[in-house]
Structure 1
Amino acid sequence: MNNKFLLTLGALAMLLAGSLFISACSSDPTSSNDDEDIEIEIVNFADQRLLTQVRLALDIESDVDITPDLMLELDTLNINAGNDTSGELTGISDLTGLEFALNLVYLRLSATSITDLSPISGLEKIDYLRFNNTPITNLSPLSNITSLTYFNANSVTGITDISPLSGNTGLRTAILRNVPFGNEGMETIRNFTIIHRINMRDTGVTDISVLGELMADGALLNTTPFAQEENGGAVLDLRGLDVEDWSPIAPYINQISDLSGVPANETVSIPDPTLEDFIRNLLEIDPQNEITTLYMSGIDTLNVNNINAISDLTGLEYAPNIRYLRFGGTTVTDLTPIQGLEKVEYLRFNDTNITDISPISGYSSLTYFNANSVTGITDISPLEGNENLQEAILRSVPFGNEGMTTLKTLTSLYRLNMRNTGVTDITILGEMMADGALLNSTAGAEAAGGATLDLRQLSINDYSPIEPYLDQIANLDGYPSN
């Protein structure tokens, strides 16, 4: 009995010891545990100054870790370093960490040192983005952002390509002053179909036809959605642009509350009704609308050839960009209205009753001049100075030998019709040829089939000045055959 009792006590002792061992092992902190805590992910900010601003925006203490979930609460980050003297804001140079702010809708980084937008490339909810006065040069990280309503890159002069903004068809405000995107960038501007405010001052743009197209479709006007609510009307700044043709926006300037950089738009009077009708049709101006200086700036070419009813060119003085002007066969007698059109390159008024060409004495851009059969002209000296004149058609213009002095100044001529002009001495033609004019090798002559010289109906006794060059003149009329 005693032995059995002792054996039972021993067994119980062993069981108790085993239980204690197992319990001890299970409480050992070094033992394995399938349910151990998962490590918390912390967002890394490469720039501690940016981290400080994010903490302020989230209203959290410095000892609180910022997690991806916490970053989802960030919808606004407004950093304006414009007046910062401490460097805490201007020194911000790296946006790493913001890639987790997937719900960010408002982001301002004015006057910081940011150069790379890559960290925000995936923030597709942003509708307000401003980083004026920064050294950014590349907008391509913004290519996937299409929700912008406000964009400001004022004075970010390193940007030349704004095409990454193309998908933002809902953009309402674009501040692009001093961003040199030029005419190429206007193809991107074309996509902003509801824009009502744009600052494109000093952007290198010279062609504003896209703006006219946008206005025709309802953008950039006081009636554009949100224009009144956000700005009191449409706003357009075109200062510092070298624009010649303002006509694309001429029909709409009274529908833009705040317009800068556009010349005064004055009413133009065109007394000749036939010329007025022609210009209205050319510029597509409705009869109920006035012809204005902005409209007239759009005339590059005016061809009223053989419209006999036109007798007065008054009004054309307001068309400073005309380069091609033809009014042969009209009843015009006075060139005074066109005296200031110094960009004219092609001028033709054959078969008219003009007698005085002194109004065009200021011209220096002519490459083509045709006064064929304008017999009232005797003095061609106002043509002096047109060193680029290549073709002069002066048939039956009786300028005589006195006019040859003027011809000598036209050093680029390769085509000259001086038939029946009263000239008897062609010494100057020989001098011109010696200097390279009126020859097949003269610039432009080859493309025109060679040099052309018409000396018919002239009482010339001595042709020797031009004889050394006869084989270098493709088209020569009036030289006596052997």
Structure 2
Amino acid sequence: MQTNRSGPFYREEAKRYYRNQENIEKKWLDRYGSVSRDNDYQRNRDCLAEVFNMLDIVMEIVIEDFRKTHRIVSIEIEGKTPVYTFDLTEEERRTPGPGAFEKTVTFSMPGTFARRVTVLRMLGYDLTDDLFYDTRYLRNETAHGNQTIILQNMKIGYEETMKAMQTMSDALIELGKLPESMRSPTFEMMRVREGDTLLGGVYTIGAFLGEGGMSRVYEASQKRSRRRLAVKEFKPGICPEETVRRESEILSGIRHERIPQIYDSFSENGTYYIVMQYIEGTPLDQCVASGKLTSDDMLAITDGICEILGFLYGVENGAVIADLSPSNILADEDKRPYLLDPGVRGEGTAAVRAATPAYCAPEVMAGKPQDERSDIYSLGRILWFLCTGESPALLDRITDDEFERAVPRESFREIISVCTQRNPEDRYETTEQLRRALAEAREIRRKEPGRARPKGVRKVRADGRKGAGRWILAAAVFFAAVIACAVLSSGVFPPKTGNEARPAAQTLQEDHAMNWQDPMLEMEMRRITGIEQGEILLSDVWDLRELSLRGCGIEDITALGELINLEYLDLGANRISDLTPLSGLSALRELILEENEAADPAPLGALTKLEKLEIGNNQIRSLAFLENMKDLSELAIGYNPLKEEEVRAALEGRRFTALNLCGLGLTDGTWLREMDGLTALYLSDNHIADLTPLSGLTQLRRLYLETNGISDLGALSGMVRLEELDLQHNPVGSLAPLSGLTGITWLDVRDCGLTDLAPVSAMKRLTSLDAGQNEITDLSPLFGLVRISYLDVSENALSGDVEPLSGLKALAYLDLRGNRIRDISALKDMRALRRLYLEGNPIEDLSVLESLPLEESAGESGGQSP
């Protein structure tokens, strides 16, 4: 297992993920389908928070892409913040709208949601004020500015949530990141309510039972027989009716005692319905929440699902696969599982579209071939959930030690670990193999009767209030980080993977009710602890070691000063100005404070155990507070109004593994030469034209040098460990010094004055290359770089054909805009290609596009091609 923090400087990873429009659609559909109609206010808020953060990252992508595709006229420094002026195209100058386009547009790189909206409006995108009003639940903003009203508004119901979801979908459509079919009101809410009838009164709708990514299920009764039924209503616009109809025909022939039988299917109200057998039972997620599952129950349920899957694999007319997730599986009183919603395996089928991402195998999410091992992956994630009650997303983020504490039984850990290997070849090959492993675990369990409850497990309190979960572990708060306001935030520094033993938590001497003072902070802590009403005691949060409160609109953190056992704290993207309450958190090892309003960092000087600190995008003017932080190895201070001499004085002679100094106006890098232990260095938006002092930093794996005025790359020739290199907007002219850097996987050389890509030919591990806005005439150096999936060579001097690209079978994104290419026939066999951009090329024959699996394509006229 590996820890993967979701902090402010990891946004680059998230931005790469959301450059794939399919990932945006999957996330939106999954969250849209998870909105609760049953006053589950926290669930609704979580759905909004995830989509809101995705939208925020997508807006940043759009602004960055504008920056990449437009010529910079000038760069000025206001304070320490670079302000860019970009030249506009003739078409953009004629475009009416806010900002009154003339010949240029000027803006600084926005650091907040509101500023990003402002910049995008300047660029002509129609983002309405509804975007602020309908997402007010996520920020400390209301029309009245009343804190009590804020707390009430946090309890948002179904209709309010759906309105906000649709407003954000409209924004994503405006930005070109969701299809028009998802725009409100075309993408409508559900069509039936309790008491409605279908098929002229044949079926009467009863209580709402549950929902998934594509449908909602209701209890129903039949007029003639009065038998108890279940009716599934598909969400309009998500999946073609013919697809649903074909699957229902196949599934109606299935007969298994623990799969509901399909009785009827029909179209009505502009959508599709399936009528099926009603099953008495409790969804697994509710079983887990009740805390009544034993270890034997967990093994029996997993084994029972294996048995059902074994039956489904033998179904004729196409292999059958299930959306394997806890909400889609019922357990009866004897803990026998029932699979509610099987589907037909196949490209474009409803089953694939409906798969729950947290339980879905990587190959399924990537649209790659799937088999029995894909279901085994899901089963492993389900077993993790049964054991811990926490999201399986944690499995991608926790350390081995945390995994061991979360799942104390070694036999269970072994099964989960083998099932959830990313490479299908490393998993159990069949469900029968998995069943044998489960049987062995049962035998081990049988020989260890009466084992005590694992340390850290806490029972629900006798007064009915929920405690801080069934186990208080680092993993529990990682889960909070996964689904809280910064679910998909991303950044710069790579995660640590150590398995260091933690010191024992300090003992609580006196308990009392917490006074949160800040309503946004109180709301987050209620979500994390599960205590929805009444007082939260200090004992309820005392054991917290790791806490993420990113992007929640928090201003006052006084109450956090009592959580002295915290070791990891993420407060990024809030409104915090006073850091005094943090001074007593002496156990902290990692602290994230970027994008706040802090000017005085002196209280942080007492945090002498800090190993990682991110405090960029604040108003910090002094680094004296760093003096006693002897263990600090990762530091991010970019985009603060710091003087160069202050930065040098504070950091020279110290040892770091990761350093972010972006946007500080630095001119001299000589003092960096001794930091030969650096593996990640970020120097974008400075004025360091001479790289000679960096030549000895041979341990570097990530180096970001965007917009520095660099013309000579000779100093980089010995950095053979480099994997990521950003050189965009530097007049380097030649990449020859990079010819020996064969380990590079990600390279950005946009607007570098290049005419030749020959040095790139040796980079056999390259997966992403941005070489737009140069004078390149020949693509032949790219021949043989078979791992490339992202390629941008727009606005170069390419002509003729693109034959050198014919062997790049992994290409999923290709931008050829603004060249003189006439023949694209070499692309005909690119089965992975999903995004293709061709505007501005005199292409003679576009028929090749008909054979490509494109999701988005823009041809010569700028319209959508077949």
Give TM class, smaller chain: 0.3 to 0.5
**Greater relative contact order: 1 or 2 (C-alpha under 8 angstroms, separation 6 or more)?**
2
Q: Tell me which structure has the larger Cα radius of gyration.
A: 1
TM-score calculated relative to the size of structure 2: 0.24
TM-score calculated relative to the size of structure 1: 0.42
